[in-house]
Amino acid sequence: MKGSTLRRSNITREKIAMLESLAKYNNDYNRTQHTNAPVDKQEELDVLWQNFKVASRPEKSTMAFFTTGVFVGVISTLVVAILISLVVGYSPLDDLNLNISNPIKVTTAAENPKFTFIPADTKQEPAAPQALPQSKEYTVQAGDSLESIAIRFYGGFDQAKIKAIEEANKLANPNAIGIGQKLIIPMN
């Protein structure tokens, strides 16, 4: 019997070892007898397996798993929706505006404070563009260089902008800026 078949049948290792030793014993016994008579192995296997039969559990079908998954998914979605509505404080019954005493009454937008309609202003003039500041002041921090300052203010490295910072601050040596030094950054 194959090892994989024995593993799948939930037989313990001790029982497998006993079956293998019994099979080896039978093979050795048949060789020593030197008989050519056929041995009915099926009867021997039936006798051996009578003690080792394992009650097999019925396998669940894929439909059972699918049905369980759908059911759990619907229930969990409902629970999450209810929890969210409790946290937000929203109730769909508020939108329906149910009134038991007069169920035919129709409410207008003026009576329902939840919904307001503000018409667009047709005479709206475009806003005047705000003037950008001509320059900003920056205090040099530890590890700053003119390149890093230019990248911070202009969004990228540009040699012309570094020259503009040098000229605005009258720097003789662009590598000789000190911590705490105030620099004027031209923004035009």
Q: Which residues pair with 156 in a beta bridge?
A: none
Residues 111, 141 within the same domain:
no
State the residue range of the domain holding 86.
Answer: 58-116
124, two tokens: 């709206």
Residues 13, 62 within the same domain:
no
pLDDT exceeds cutoff 60 at 128: no
Alpha helices in the chain (DSSP H): 3-8, 13-33, 41-52, 62-88, 92-96, 146-154, 159-169
CA angle (82, 88, 93) in 5-degree steps: 65
- Is 127 part of a structural domain of the chain? no
- Is 30 part of a structural domain of the chain? yes
pLDDT exceeds cutoff 80 at 2: no
- Split into its structural domains, the chain has a count of 3
Q: Lowest mean pLDDT of 58-72, 115-129, 146-160, name the range.
A: 115-129
- Is 141 part of a structural domain of the chain? yes
- Is 126 part of a structural domain of the chain? no
pLDDT exceeds cutoff 70 at 139: yes
Domain finish residue from 52, 67, 82: 52
Gyration radius of the chain over CA positions: 44
| 139 SS3 class | strand
